[in-house]
Amino acid sequence: MPSTSDLPSTFYCTKSIDFSKAVDSSTLKDKSVIVTGGANGLGAGCVTAFAEAGAYITVLDINEENGNALASALTEKGYHVQFTKIDATSFASQTAGFKSAISFSPHSTLDLVLCAAGLTGLGMNAWLEKVSKTPDADPSPPSTATIDVNLTGLFYSAHLSLYYFKQTAKLGDKSSKHLIFVSSLAGYVALDKVADYNASKFGVRGMWKAIRNANGILGEEGPGFRTNLVAPTFIRTQMTAAIEPGLLAMGISLGEIEDVTAGVMRLACDESISGRAIAIAAREKMAGDRNFDLGDDWEGLDAGRETLDKIRDGTLHSLELVGGGQGNKYDRGNMFRGEDGNVIS
């Protein structure tokens, strides 16, 4: 890999992740953790992993039934988990959720935030299905729900994370405050004609890149700060159940929730990892064994090198074909669209 030594100092790259290093989950004991979108799927898997490590978890989600059920089930096992209902698109609602996490913390602090709230996308073919034949008829506005949750909601979460990291910091804090973004491999290998989802997940990368090297952002007297990102492939959840046969027919292997939690826990527990992005790929034998550092920096050509290498060796396969449909030479029909046109990814 080429060096950045001959580049200006602003072209700074952190050290790539060492996946051979053991993960010590005891570092999370008594930490105050927020998981947005933690009531289902990937978020719920990470909530469970954090709870088992001894952290105090606040689940922020709009799904009250699932969120309460998850918190109750983990609390009955002796873990520290609470649920607070929020609307991720509302700054005031998220603020209330963050404040509830601080109140729940044993030390009235906030230490780690995992931004996992997200929606699936709407295929662009749906934009053209109801084109009126009436002259001068105006189009209806497209839905912005996916961007509202996946990008604007995450922007709010990042703002609140930094604010409360600084406000609740204690003198002598030894551990860095940590913000983990959940993007997607669709933020690296764009899904065909799924504009809102692609835009939101590329946007998550942009937000992360803006602060990836801002280790001193909390002030000279404040604690350190680090941020990292995970980019999952298609993961086997309730959301992907309907399209799993189609994905498998295209040669796309689905990852498991445990593959995601393996990547997230590695980031959360290792203070030496900062400013890195992990691709979550479908396992070969054990959870997380095909996860890899995307090299999403100057040295890695913004992840282009690793992404292409993994496409060539089969770790990533056919993601660029997902979405497909009318207007693409790799037409897959409507296989990846829900009844309302939502692409599930």
The DSSP symbol for 82 reads E
Reported confidence tier of residue 340, pLDDT bands at 50, 70, 90 = very low
pLDDT of res. 329 = 43
Q: What's the number of CA atoms in the CB half-sphere (13 Å) around residue 87?
A: 7
pLDDT digits (tens, 9 = 90+) for 316-329: 987 877 875 545 44
Does residue 6 or residue 335 have the better pLDDT? 6
Percent of the chain topping pLDDT 70? 92
Q: Could you confirm whether 100 is annotated as catalytic?
A: no
Tokens 């729940």 map to which residue?
104
31, 177, 193, 201: the catalytic one is 201
Measured CA distances, 111 to 22, 31, 56, 102, 238 (Å): 22, 6, 10, 9, 30
| Residue 56 confidence (pLDDT) above 90 | yes
Planar angle of CA 257, 259, 260, nearest 5 degrees: 65
183, 184, 200, 253: the catalytic one is 183
The sign of the torsion formed by the CA atoms of 284, 289, 295, 299 equals negative
Average pLDDT over residues 53-57: 98
Reported confidence tier of residue 311, pLDDT bands at 50, 70, 90 = very high
pLDDT of res. 318 = 79
Q: Is 225 helix (H, G, I), strand (E, B) or coil?
A: strand
Average pLDDT over residues 10-20: 91
Q: Could you confirm whether 201 is annotated as catalytic?
A: yes
Q: Could you confirm whether 197 is annotated as catalytic?
A: yes
pLDDT of res. 322 = 83
Domains of the chain, earliest start first: 25-129+141-343 (3.40.50.720)
Out of 16-20, 134-138, 292-296, least confident range: 134-138
The sign of the torsion formed by the CA atoms of 100, 61, 294, 232 equals positive
pLDDT digits (tens, 9 = 90+) for 58-67: 999 999 999 9
Reported confidence tier of residue 7, pLDDT bands at 50, 70, 90 = confident
Planar angle of CA 342, 343, 345, nearest 5 degrees: 130
β pairing state of 225-232 and 177-182: parallel
pLDDT of res. 5 = 60
31, 184, 197, 200: the catalytic one is 197
| Residue 174 confidence (pLDDT) above 50 | yes
Contacts 24+ apart (CB under 8 A), 283-292: 283/255, 283/256, 283/258, 283/259, 287/256, 287/258, 287/259, 287/261, 287/262, 288/258, 288/259, 288/262, 288/263, 290/259, 290/315, 291/19, 291/259, 291/262, 291/263, 291/266, 292/19
| Residue 330 confidence (pLDDT) above 50 | no
Out of 6-20, 170-184, 270-284, least confident range: 6-20
Measured CA distances, 237 to 83, 102, 186, 241, 264 (Å): 21, 30, 17, 6, 17
